[in-house]
A and B are shown apart, each in its own frame.
Chain A
Amino acid sequence: MSQFLRQYLTVAIFGAAAVLMVGAMLGFGRLLRPTRPQTGKYINYECGVDPVGVGWSQSQIRYYVFALLFVMFDVEAVFIFPWAVRLEALAVFGLAEMGIFIVILALGLVYAWRKGVLRWV
């Protein structure tokens, strides 16, 4: 196995260890905890009265627009990282290129700002 894959094998092992730990703790807990089912216990909490309607209520559409903006910016951030690592070799050329890139990025933010997307209400 190559060194590269082996490094990520460790990551996978750690993920599996987390699953194992949670499983072990829950299994251990099952041995200790009481189980006394009553219908009242399984009603959703809503300030102590019986819940009104279903739990899956409608929510603010604003979150959707912010999520779209986030996807855009996050992908741009991914592009910035390789440049940041190699900046010493790229020197002035890289600096100018990234300057243009970030100005375009900032223009996008200014556009969203002026359009009122960043206003919450």
Chain B
Amino acid sequence: MDLSVINPALLIASLMVASTPILLAALGELICEKSGVLNLGVEGMMITGAICGFAVAVETGSPLLGFLGAALGGAVLALLFAVLTQVLLANQVASGLALTLFGLGISALIGQGYRGVKPPPTGRIDLGPLSDIPVLGRVLFSHDWVVYFGLALVVAIWAFLKFSRAGLVLRAVGESAEAAHALGYKVVRIRIAAILFGGACSGLGGAYLSLIRVPQWTDGMTAGAGWIALAIVVFGSWRPGRVLVGAYLFGGLTVLQLNLQAAQLPVPVEVLSMSPFVLTIVVLVIISARRRGASGAAPAMLGRIFHASS
């Protein structure tokens, strides 16, 4: 065992990269759940986004267009879920699970011609003097734009939910669909919009895996990231800040266990591989169990079907 191969600066830098896909997916799901919709299809939307983004990027040679394609792909799959649950009033849990299975299948189908292909690289953005700061510059300020986009999205969603009228309406719809309907808000439309946003974010998260983190296409490459994103939303008490903590925690543990594997820690590889999942959930359970305020509780309508009976 040789722990000296682990470089802390590199660890933190790769932590931010490893966390970004989960962070993006979790933020999308957060908005979706705030509107009262439980979409368990995050994994499916992520992997669909991963292959759509990969395919578009390879065909056009532009990673940026790839990410747009990924968001679109995730949103299209989410639209399927939206039609099932909001128009046809299907059960959300069952529809979400089906969406995951469907996403895994269709991504493998689309991805048949893309195995072993290299995607166009996404450059790091140059933050000028910031990137030149010793250690800190390398850790924080020398990433690609998606990492910073994820962080900005945390702040944007926090502000959206706390300060904007649209955010208030979204929370109201998730809190009591009947009351929102009685006040004249378009519950179904708002929910569909939230579901589509969730799908687009999941798609971005998936594309980050296939275009930057790995970067190549393999079947089932999300490997449970969508599920951990779902868990992070719940144990993060539906707050963007805590979701960020959860995502970075999971990303950090993933990177650490990979480093420990490389350092040949005398622990079975399987135990190391599962440790991020276990530890993230344990830590988040402790955080969420500590305080149970009204703001920390689940949206009251989560997973419930709304049918306007005027």
Q: Do A and B bind each other?
A: no
